[in-house]
A and B are shown apart, each in its own frame.
Chain A
Amino acid sequence: MNIRKVAWNNIISSPLNTLLSLMLMTFGVGIISLLLLLNNHMQEQFQNNIRSIDMVVGAKGSPLQLILSSIYHVDNPTGNIPLEEVNKLTKNPLVDFKIPLSYGDSYNGFRIVGTTHQYPKLYEANLAEGQLWNSSMQVVLGDAVSKITNLKIGDEFFGTHGFDENGHVHDNHSYVVVGVFDKTNSVIDNLIITDLKSVWKVHDHAHGEECNHDHDHAHGEECNHDHDHAHGEECDHDHNHEEKDAYDYESLSNDLMITSMLVKFKSPVGIIQMPRKVNETTNMQAALPIFEINRLTNLLGFGVKTINFIALIIMLVSGLSIFISLFNSLKKRKYELALMRVHGATKIQLIKLVLLEGLLLSIVGTFLGLLISRLSLFIISILVNHNQKISNIEFSLINNEIWLVLTAIFIGFLASLIPSFITYKINITKILSNA
């Protein structure tokens, strides 16, 4: 028997009050914690996937769309750009390296990206089995792709135009799997990577040159089901390539198109000079990943802040609920508090009793909140589209959550402060003689 046990018994003896206080605290903490976890996950994904890429060059359009599509592979491409023009532009001593990307097709929702061997190297993707491609139509699968599609080395498949599963199937050319990457926890896990030439080969329909450069609208879905060779004019975004035999893309000429070019500079001077040069002197655009992602998180930040604010109010209401139930119970319990004093309890012990009741409620509520946020994240990760899977759910406390826990406990403490002060001030003789 001790004060803790009395506090605990008092809490469980008024289940409805306790449930209300607990639920409010649980939801408040749960919402904020879930947002923190998601935010943490997003930041990690964003940062992890940018790697050292300083600039992305692509067709004119939304710079954010260009970044989302060519670094994170979540949006539609902005259009195509002539390989020759990008090469000319980036043949510059400020450029450390550059990686061309060509994409627009998918298999079972996983994107097929034509690029060079340098791309997997950028993400430190090692082969789990097989080898890298050494000619066109050979592909290497990301870890998640191989697990979910069950494709094995030697398997063949057809790509689908666009990124949903109902697109036109390019059944004239099949891809063959030659390798599988290890898990990298980066965007590579969800990609099917192949040679640039493969993409050109699949889309070998030499059509409409005149409409290459005027698609700064979000496209893709509305015109990817009907691009037969006769009327490719209005939807030529990313299948406007001709196959060339020579593979050295640096020397490939004139009308070959890519979707975007990832560029890393040798010095920060490049970040200042190049994007301006591209945007002002060419028909292409240059976007800076860091800048765009900051812009995006700032945009999201407003919503996140609003929800956080609401959740904080829920936590405060929980504090109020703790306060009200303690305050009400004190009225009923003044006799037993007086009795405890008669038994020999000190004022400090009674204060401890009341504080413990408030703190126990807020601590249990906080714990449940943290548990629920992790459970929700786990459920979200199951429900969410498989190629944007949330892996590595963080079960230990993340940094900002320590503040969340401290705030919640502090609210519980504040809520029990006035009731414990009243306890301190009770007049035993007055209570006991008013029997």
Chain B
Amino acid sequence: MLKSKSLFFNYDTTNKFNFPDIKLKKGDSLLILGESGVGKTTFIHILAGLLRPNSGIIELNGVNYHDLNDRELDLFRGENIGMIFQKPYFVRNLSIYDNLLLALYLSKKQEYKKNIKKILQDIGLANKLNYKPDSLSQGEQQRVAIALAVVKRPSLILADEPTSSLDDKNCNKIIALLKKQAEIANSQLVIITHDKRLKDQFNKSITL
């Protein structure tokens, strides 16, 4: 359950954002569309607990972010939220497999270690588990980024412009993969993008 209510955030007096209320159930997915500069990334960072709103409430699984201190919020995010970015990020000196292991270690979910190979198979990279991230193509890297977000079976997956740097073919592949993995993990999925190609792929969408 993800719930947000009257979220407001301002960087300074001119950059003020009011965000729409959202309410998601397990297994739901939501597309948030918006042009550049409307606070898309700010919104997703607030939903992830990376930024604290000036006012308003967010709740995930009944836990109000406001009640957690910074350290608790870090741990809460690690356990419950998986994130995907426009550009895939990795710990460059670790192999694909070790990156996934690290994600589980940091989110204290090492019991999902046995899922790693299965997920790498699902994204078609089972043969590259010992490769360093830099040696993969852009599309492959984005697939690994999805694996990193879903391997710990989070209850919420947040994707920030996951397709904007991909061509149509890769775009469709990634979205299909993301939807499938969210389904397997039984996660709520929120995608924020300006990429109109995605509009038809989701039945629930709002525009900022």
Q: Which residues of A contact B (CB under 8 A)?
A: 1-2, 5-6, 9-10, 13, 333, 335-336, 338-349, 428-429, 432-433, 435
Contacts and interface: CB of A to CB of B under 8 A. Distances in A.
B45 A429 contact: yes
Nearest to B87: A435
Interface in B151-192: 160-161
Contact of B50 (A13, A340, A432): A432
B75 A346 contact: yes
Given A6-B102, A432-B50, A343 B41 contact: no
B184 to A, nearest CB: 20
A1 to B, nearest CB: 4
A218 B94 CA distance: 68
A339 B84 CA distance: 10
Nearest to B78: A344
A344 B149 CA distance: 12
Contacts of B92: 13, 333, 336
Contacts of B108: 344
Interface residues of B, number: 36
B83 interface: yes
A341 B105 CA distance: 12
Nearest to A335: B89
A259 B77 CA distance: 87
A336 B91 contact: yes
A349 B108 CA distance: 13
Contacts, number: 81
B71 A346 contact: yes
A336 B41 CA distance: 18
Given A2-B105, A435-B85, 20 more contacts: A1-B102, A6-B94, A9-B93, A13-B92, A13-B93, A336-B91, A339-B90, A342-B77, A342-B83, A343-B102, A343-B103, A343-B107, A344-B75, A344-B78, A345-B78, A349-B106, A432-B45, A432-B85, A433-B41, A435-B86
22 contacts: A1-B98, A2-B105, A5-B98, A6-B91, A6-B93, A9-B91, A9-B98, A336-B89, A340-B106, A341-B74, A342-B77, A343-B106, A343-B148, A346-B71, A347-B70, A348-B71, A429-B42, A429-B45, A432-B41, A432-B160, A433-B42, A435-B86
Nearest to A1: B101
B104 interface: yes
A347 B69 CA distance: 13
B195 interface: no
A254 to B, nearest CB: 87
B50 A429 contact: yes
B48 interface: yes
A182 B87 CA distance: 77
B51 interface: yes
B79 interface: yes
Contacts of A2: 105
A10 B92 CA distance: 9
Interface in B27-75: 41-42, 45, 48, 50-51, 70-71, 74-75
Contacts of A349: 106
B75 A342 contact: no
B160 to A, nearest CB: 8
